[in-house]
Structures are given as C-alpha cells and as structure tokens.
Structure 1
C-alpha cells in the first residue's frame, strides 16, 4: 500500500507537526507533501531525513517569510500535487490540505484540526484583529475569503472520511461541510510531563498572548483577588494589554515563556492552571493534567473533552463565560472541591491522550476505512 501524507505547511514544530510525526510512525514509508517547507534544521528530527514534496509557492518571491501572503494561490497549489499512484491519502487539514485531488480507487482520510477559522465563523474577529474592517484592502480580503469558502465546501466532497481532533471540531465540520466526523484527539507527549511531590501553591497561566487566548481576563480576575498568587508565562501581541492589566498587582508575576523542564516544574507546583480561550483542543491542558495539576478552563471548545468536572474525583472546573467575574466564581468553586481532586486522577485522565493511543486509534480508523472502501457499494 502506497501512502501519501499531505501536510499544510512546514514552518515550526507545533501542534499539527506532532500529528504528522505520529502519522509517520504509523506509516514510515509514506511520502510527504506540503505547500511549503521552511522548517529549521534543528526542528526536522521527526522527519528522519525524509524528502518533502512542495508546491510552486516554495519558489515564489519572499515565500520563506511571507508564504501566507500567497493564501489565494494555495488552493491551486495543492490541486497540482500528483497523488495518482497512492492507495491512501492522509491530509492534515486546517487551511487547504484536504483540497488535494484523488480518484475513486483511492481512500482520502482528512484529519481536521479545524476548518479554515478565518474564512468561516471567525472571519469578523480576524478582520478586526488585522485592522481590515473597512477600506479597499478589506473589500479584497472579504472577496478572497468568500472565494475560499466556496472552494472549501466543494473540496469536502473529495474526502472519504473526516476525523476531527475534538467533538467541538466535529460540530464545526458538520456546520461547515454538512458531513459527520469521527473524533480522535491529537497526540500529547504525556511521558514528558510527570507528577511532582512538592507542596502546591499559587496558580499558573502558560499561553501565547494572542487575543483569542483572553489571558487579560485571568489577570484582571486575579487583580481583584490579591489573596491569590498568579504566575503568567508567555509572550505575544497582547503583551502590552496584559502588562497594563497586571500593573500595581503584586500578587501577579509576568514571565517570558519557559523551557520545558521549567514549565513542568511550575505545573507540578501550581494549585491549578487556568485557561480562558475557546480552543479547538487545548494540548497544554492535557500537559497540566499529566503533571497531576487541576485545570480551571472556559467550558467551550476542546476543554469539554479534556476536563472532567463531574467525575469522581473531578479533575478541574469549567466556567461558562469569558469574563473576570466568571473566573472569580470558578476559583471559588475550585476551592470548595480542591481537597477532592486527586493528582493521580488528573494524570490518569491525561493518559487518554497519549501518543500511543493516538497511533492505535488512527490505525484502526484507517483500517476500517480501507475495508469499507474495498468492500464497495452493493451490486445487484
């Protein structure tokens, strides 16, 4: 069986690259295709020297730093990949990867991190954050996103089976493509995050300071609760707002992103980690649970698949609004049940999302898809 894996683009080793790394362990002889490949040498280890076939965008001017500016060409780019010789095509999709062209004797399984967020329900947020709400450039971008939506829906017909990384993304797939999806949570390297045995004190946030992460809401909540200490790790475009919110709050410490060993130590020593974003999945919440650490999170998106507030014992708390008031109320609920939360139960919960479990689940899903495809429709 010849296998092709279509990855969106290779720029940094992040969440979707973790999925690619595990798919390559499942199918080590697979060929890799990507719109562009500018992955630094020090982050290429998981590719094990494999060649990546890229699109014509790889050679366009300034592509190494500004390839996203060629978004309007990416649908055409992925349609030019010649996949005719492959029995199985796996696309790792969050923008255009699922748009590759396959034939009736091929199985195309698309693992979806999210439908193209900025073209669908988050379009208005994207335009606001990019300062593109009005003007000629805004008009062009709106037209482009309109064209991308048309193409995105039409190419869903070329996918034999959708697999979503959370139930939240499965609902987005149903809304966007009118297709059902199986759910296989993404792989988390839980073996790198272990329980500590030191006393726990204070609370922790570890996040990029992107606007949708809403870190400033957590900071504002703790500014109103001077009796609780909060450590915030991160950097990004929202840093000025977060720093301003934390001003004159001695109980709040802002720090740059930490190396993994330091992050693990901080997770192990926190009473709980807090998350205010609506995440597609939320790998950091699983990493915290693997350290035996409870999680207090906004109860939409992937957090609902991860945190178990009603289990016996519970592993954290979910709050239902992105406001400082909701976070303050959630912290009060957390303190009421904190003695019932077991670090061992938190870690056991995290093991549901291990890399081994991901590989096993994906191989089973692919096997079932191939069997169903080879069986074919009934013939009378």
Structure 2
C-alpha cells in the first residue's frame, strides 16, 4: 500500500497569518487530502482558512491560555511540552512543518516522521546573540533568564531531532544548518511558488518595491535609510507592521510605507516595479521568487537561500544583483549598479527562473520523498523481523539484537 493510502497527520507550529510556511502546509494537504492537522494555536481569520480546505485544526492547551490570541509567542517556553501532548499514535505517517517546535512530536518506531524544516530555531542556535541584542536582553537578570530558556530550548531541540526519520530542508542553506545543529543530513525540496497568481508583466514602471514583515532580521531599516539617501528613486514598502513609527522616522518623502495590503495589491506592485529590493538573510525567501515570477528582477543581500533563487550570472540569464554586506552603503551601491546594468535583466528570464519552483513540482517531489521513506521504513521492519531473536543470538554467541 502506498504512503498516500496511509493515515497521515500534519503538524504545524501555529496558524496566525498566511506566509511561506503556511503555503507549504497548503500544498502538503493537497498531497494528502485526508490528513488531520495539529498545531499549537490557530488564529487564522476566515478569509485565510481556505488553505486548510475546511479541515478542523486540533490545537494545544496554549490556545486557551489568557491573552493567547495577542501574544501566544510569549508562551514559547511551554511549547515543547505542549507539542509533546499531541497523541499521534493512530497515524502511520507524521509530517511536521517546523521552524520551532513542531518536529518535537512523539512518534513510535513503526511510524514514519518526516520533518520539513523551514529553519532550525534561529533564536536558539546561530542567531541567539542577534536576537538578544534586538530584544534588548544583553545585560541584566532578564538576559540571564532569556539565555537559560534558550539553552533549554536548544537542548530539547537537539534531543528531539533523534525522533525524526527524514529531514527535508527548504534550501541547501537550511540543509547545512540542519547538519550543523542536529548532525543529520537533509534532502532539499524548495517550497512552492504560486506562479499562476504572480503572472509575468514585461512593462515596468519607475519605482522599487519590497514586501516583508517588519521584524528585526528583515532589516527594512536598511532599505528605508538607503532609499532616503536616493531621493530620485521611489520605494514602496508593503507588509505587516511596516507603517511603524520607527520606520517613519527614517523614511524620506520618496519612501512610502503602505503596511499590510491584500494579495491583489501586492501582486500589482510586484508586476509593475522596476526591481524588488530585499535586505534579509533568508533561509529561502518566497517573496524573492514571487517578484521574479512577475518578471521583476531582484536586488538582495547575497547570503542564505537567496543565492539559490536569484541568478547573478551569467549576464544573459541574470535575474538580479546581490550585495555582500548588510549596510546602507551596500544597498545604495547595489541600486546604482542595477541602474547601470538594468538593460541586461530580461523579464522572461526572471519568470523562467521562478518556474523552477512551481507548486506542482513541489507536490511531485514531496510525494516521491514520502513514498521512498515509507518503503524504506517497511523494508527495515522486514529486515529487523528476519534477524535472530534472543535465543538465537545467545546460540550464535552474539549480543541480543546484533
């Protein structure tokens, strides 16, 4: 019997808004339409619930704690315990979609657990010190408390990696981080890009655009400050919480902070923009490919997953400009370079690059990976069943189970 016919559970961290990881879950559920869904909390608005295709989501006790809707992330220290309370013993296959705690679910030796890793916990591993600086937790008793929690999370995260049968990373960059954090190899299946929604437009207009959540590691401040130095170049900033007082204080008259916008507005700006600019070190970065699907070239910080999604060479197939330092000067220099070389960026080449990451390709690759892992698990079970038991092991002079 194929993996598709088995009973499947999909575990996600939390449903609050629809971003890249939720798009991955949406496509996984298209692969396994009978799958049950679990998560720590579910606060999706009604308009976003279509990605779940009408499924009821099973949530943890954190869903019912005080103020959970507004600040569930403050309950992070409880999340390892919460995810371990999901009883998944009735499922043959467990698929965790994880960037924090979802891979920590408990599974048995006859169950297949695949973890699709968007990122190991950034704030507990290599980005801990950056997180502490950005949260003003470098000194004092609060810093000691935060460091102790992150140490405990890191220890738990490493230990629970042993319960994963197969790691799937969303990029080669994340696969290297999985190897560094857990000592495990991961296959790479890039996340899906909705190339049907983000259609090609050849005619561009004279403005730049970025789409991002206003969280510190996205470094929107660099883009706002850089374009404020270039008053002749217009920048539109879209995304959740981007119309903040902090960014407004840095923005010149040529920088428009538009906040959260509906998908049709985002698509329209991406299609018409001269270029898409980005300053984050991303594990993958779906927005970068959505822009290219619209035929829009990219100017991005050249570290992390973006090196796998933006072609800086050769010239005739290039889809963007990458810069090597997260600084205002580097952004300004990259935009200047783009302006000098803009004639070499072909919208059709950008579109062709994005089409390497379609939703249908993701589903095909993901189902193949699950099927192969399922067959390997069953083969190991047959092999183990054929090995000698205790009496035979003693008779043959070997330790039990060898």
TM-score scaled by structure 1?
Answer: 0.93
Q: Residues 301-340 of structure 1 correspond to what in structure 2 (within 5 A)? A: 301-311=304-314, 312-340=316-344
Whether 1:273 aligns to 2:279 is no
Q: Name the counterpart of 1:291.
A: 294
Q: Name the counterpart of 1:261.
A: 264
**Post-superposition shift, 1:235?**
5.1
**Structure 2 spans left out of the alignment, 5+ residues:** 1-5, 388-402
**Post-superposition shift, 1:326?**
1.5
Equivalent pair of 1:210/1:238 in contact (CA under 8 Å):
no
Change (3 A) 1:43 1:228: closer
Change (3 A) 1:352 1:241: same
**Post-superposition shift, 1:356?**
1.1
Q: Name the counterpart of 2:398.
A: none
Shifted more, 48-57 versus 268-277: the winner is 48-57
Shifted more, 180-189 versus 202-211: the winner is 202-211
Question: Is the partner of 1:201 in helix, strand or coil?
Answer: coil
Counterpart CA distance in 2 for 1:43 and 1:253 is 26
**Post-superposition shift, 1:256?**
3.0
Specify the structure having the higher radius of gyration (Cα): 2
Change (3 A) 1:215 1:56: closer
Shifted more, 194-203 versus 113-122: the winner is 194-203
Whether 1:83 aligns to 2:88 is yes
**Post-superposition shift, 1:358?**
1.0
| Root mean square deviation of aligned Cα | 2.0
Whether 1:243 aligns to 2:248 is yes
1:107-133 alpha-carbon deviations (Å, 9 max, x no partner)? 110001111111112222222222222
Q: Residues 117-128 of structure 1 correspond to what in structure 2 (within 5 A)? A: 117-128=122-133
1:290-348 alpha-carbon deviations (Å, 9 max, x no partner)? 11000010001111111011143211111110112222222233234321211111011
Q: Name the counterpart of 2:9.
A: 4
Match 2:76 to one of 55, 67, 71: 71
Question: Is the partner of 1:138 in helix, strand or coil?
Answer: helix
1:15-48 alpha-carbon deviations (Å, 9 max, x no partner)? 2221111111100111111122232333222222
Question: Is the partner of 1:228 in helix, strand or coil?
Answer: coil
Question: Is the partner of 1:8 in helix, strand or coil?
Answer: strand
Change (3 A) 1:314 1:101: same
TM-score scaled by structure 2?
Answer: 0.88
Change (3 A) 1:94 1:332: same
Q: Name the counterpart of 1:17.
A: 22
Question: Is the partner of 2:158 in helix, strand or coil?
Answer: helix
1:175-194 alpha-carbon deviations (Å, 9 max, x no partner)? 11011111111112121111
Question: Is the partner of 1:317 in helix, strand or coil?
Answer: strand
Counterpart CA distance in 2 for 1:27 and 1:114 is 23
Counterpart CA distance in 2 for 1:29 and 1:68 is 29
